[in-house]
Amino acid sequence: MGRVNLGTIDESLLPAVREACLGDGVPPAAPREVIGQSWHRARLHGVDPDAGRASPPPLPAEEVEHRRHASQLGSLLPQLREGLGAIVDVERHLMAVTDAEGRVLWRDGARGVLRSADRLHFSVGASWTEEQVGTNGIGTALALRRPVQVHAAEHFVRTHHSWTCAAAPLHDPRDGRLLGVLNVSGPVPAFNPATLPLVTAVAKVAEAELRLRHWESVDRLRAVAAPMLSRVGGRALAVDREGWAAAVTGMGPVGRVTLPKGVQAGRVWLPSLGHCVLEPLPDGWLVRVEEAGPGGGAETAANRVVLDLRLPRSWTVTVSGPAGDWSQELSPRHAELLYVLARHPAGRTAAELAADLFGDPSRAVTVRAEISRMRRTLAGVLGHRPYRFADSVEVLLLTPPGGTDPLPASTAPGVLAGRRGPHAG
């Protein structure tokens, strides 16, 4: 066995495995599944396995600074550096933090390894997605949204074979939104088997810190809003800028309210509450729920859903009705689930959806839990018995142009069936 946990593959066989797989030959051993699937995606993206592809120019310094300022990750840098400091400083590795688009926003490490990275255009502002550079720690972690190690000749592009990379995605714990990737890279001889577990652990600690900061901000908002709500008649609640409820009056407990993009003070339609009036609070909103008049429920009903899967890593659902529209980003699992439902307008049972998502009909309980979470904001859009989009709702499914696969990192059977044809599966 080699120095990396590569399953049944000796590290010395990696170059021959790669050459055979990329040349349609018979490899001496099968690559790891995560690597083989990434190589397949890189070929579909048109990445040259020998020379790579012409990468887009790095972001201008002004754009990098803008993204740094807008990112929640900047405030976590001291914690990330401290958690990875021993490896980055002592073992000739570098630490990189990217945004959700795979653009390198921060980079730290010894001078020598940084110079080596510069020769590969692994610099601040550069794009390191699979679409640009093939299989690599950052790009593959972005595609899969889970930690991954890419070692030596597991990299798709030959010029990267002297490197080993360990990367873990960083998510917003409030809604699961992808914020970026934490990556540690270095020369193959400096490989340490503890690197991937360490990077994964540091990423989880960073997400926990974001969660703690969020609840502290909700507590501060509650202290401000509670006296105001005590004087409000009817139903009302105070939410932070992302819609998380801090205090409620005149109604049952509320976890989160989906706010429209570009939310402003005034009258607005919210899918879970109907017509509301928003008033600004420090770091949040006071939401007054308007009581429906005669027949008022019908006027807030949704009549159109747009499921947008055109981008490789960012997906949204937009719901429109007579009072306006709202959008929310989707997790990979929820994007898969809505994609399957869009392809099956007659509906799917929980067991059928379990087979569509996991290849295992017995996981119906998991499906029901996911549907329950989605119905908190899509209650007027999703029907049940069987699960489906409501009959009164027009559904528009937007997929990538040029025949590119939607949800390219998904291995869900229902998604794979959709790639084989509009009526497959």
Predicted local confidence at residue 326, as pLDDT: 74
Q: Is 349 found in the same domain as 261? A: no
Spatial distance between the Cα atoms of 408 and 415, rounded to a whole number of angstroms: 9
Of 249, 253, 295, 293, nearest to 272 (Cα)?
Answer: 253
Within this chain, do residues 53 and 94 fall inside the same structural domain, yes or no? Answer: yes
Return the pLDDT at 294. Answer: 42
How confident is the model over 257-270, as pLDDT tens digits? 888 777 888 888 88
Higher pLDDT, 167 or 324: 167
The single-letter code of the amino acid at 368 is R
Q: What is the pLDDT of residues 273-295, one digit of tens each?
A: 888 899 988 888 999 998 765 44
Q: Tell the residue number behind the tokens 């887009």, with chain if given.
A: 56
Evaluate whether residue 48 is within a structural domain. yes
- Tell me the pLDDT band of 2, cut-offs 50, 70 and 90: very low
Same domain, 268 and 205: no
Residue 2 placed within a domain: no
Q: What is the pLDDT of residue 199?
A: 96
Comparing 14-23, 88-97, 168-177, 241-250, which segment has the lowest mean pLDDT? 88-97
**HEC letters along 309-351:** CCCCCCCEEEEEECCEEEEEECCHHHHHHHHHHHHCCCCECHH
Mean pLDDT, to the nearest integer, of 408-419? 86
In a shared domain, residues 260 and 367:
no
The CB-side HSE value for 231 (13 A sphere, CA atoms) comes to 5
Q: Is residue 296 part of a domain?
A: no
**Mean predicted confidence (pLDDT) in 17-32:** 89
Total count of residues recorded for the chain: 425
Inter-residue long-range contacts of 261-268, CB under 8 Å, 24+ positions, other chains counted: 261/326, 261/327, 268/323, 268/324
Q: CA nearest 135: which of 44, 207, 211, 225?
A: 44
Residue 401 lies in a domain: yes
Chain CA centroid to CA 359, Å: 22
**pLDDT in the model for residue 7:** 53
The structural domain count of the chain equals 3
| 421 pLDDT higher than 70 | no
Whether residues 160 and 273 share a domain: the answer is: no
Average pLDDT taken over every residue of the chain:
87
pLDDT (tens digit per residue) in 133-149: 999 999 999 999 999 99
The verdict on residue 312 lying in a domain is yes
For residue range 325-367, list pLDDT tens digits in order. 777 888 889 999 999 999 999 999 999 999 999 999 999 999 9
Rg (CA), the chain: 24
Specify whether 243 is located in the same domain as 355: no
According to DSSP, residue 174 is labeled T
Judge whether residue 52 has pLDDT over 90: no
* pTM for this entry: 0.77
Q: What was the pLDDT predicted at 155?
A: 96
Residue 312 confidence (pLDDT): 82
What CATH number is attached to the domain comprising 66?
A: 3.30.450.40
* Whether residues 240 and 112 fall in one domain: no
Residue ranges making up the domain that contains 88:
11-212
Residues 270 and 375 in one domain: no
Does 370 map to a domain?
A: yes
List all residues 6 or more positions away from 420 whose beta carbon is below 8 Å from its beta carbon.
Answer: none
CA separation for the pair 414, 416 (Å, rounded): 6
- Give pLDDT, residue 76: 95
Whether 255 and 274 have beta carbons less than 8 Å apart is answered as: no
User: What one-character-per-residue DSSP string does 72-108 give?
Assistant: GGGGGHHHHHHHHHHHHHHSS-EEEEEETTSBEEEEE
What percent of the chain lies above the pLDDT cut of 70? Answer: 91
Residue 1: count of CB within 10 angstroms of its CB: 10
110 and 197 together in one domain? yes
Helix (H, G, I), strand (E, B) or coil at 167: strand
With cut-offs at 50, 70 and 90, classify the pLDDT of residue 322: low
| Residue 203 located in a structural domain | yes
Work out the number of other CB atoms within 10 angstroms of the CB of residue 82: 11
Q: Is 3 inside any structural domain? A: no
> If pLDDT is split at 50, 70 and 90, which confidence band does 10 have?
confident
76 in the same domain as 144:
yes
- Grade residue 425 by pLDDT with cuts at 50, 70 and 90: very low
Across the range 244-273, mean pLDDT stands at 84
Question: Looking at 212, 245, 267, which one is the last position of a domain?
Answer: 212
Same domain, 53 and 200: yes
pLDDT level of residue 382 (50, 70, 90 thresholds):
confident
Tokens 């499906």, residue located: 367
Segment 38-50 shows an average pLDDT of 91
Phi, psi torsion values for 29, nearest 5 degrees: -160, 155
8 A C-beta contact, residue 117 and residue 97: no
What band does 301 get if pLDDT is binned at 50, 70 and 90?
low
Q: For residue 199, give the nearest of 81, 25, 106, 297 by alpha carbon.
A: 81
Strands 316-321 and 324-329: antiparallel
Residue 4 has pLDDT above 70, yes or no: no
Distance, CA of 310 to CA of 266 (rounded, Å): 32
Compare 236 and 273 and report the one with higher pLDDT.
236
Dist. CA 307–CA 127, nearest whole Å: 27
List the single range of 189-198, 312-321, 375-384 with lowest mean pLDDT.
Answer: 375-384
pLDDT value, residue 77: 94
> Quick one: 160 and 56 in the same domain?
yes
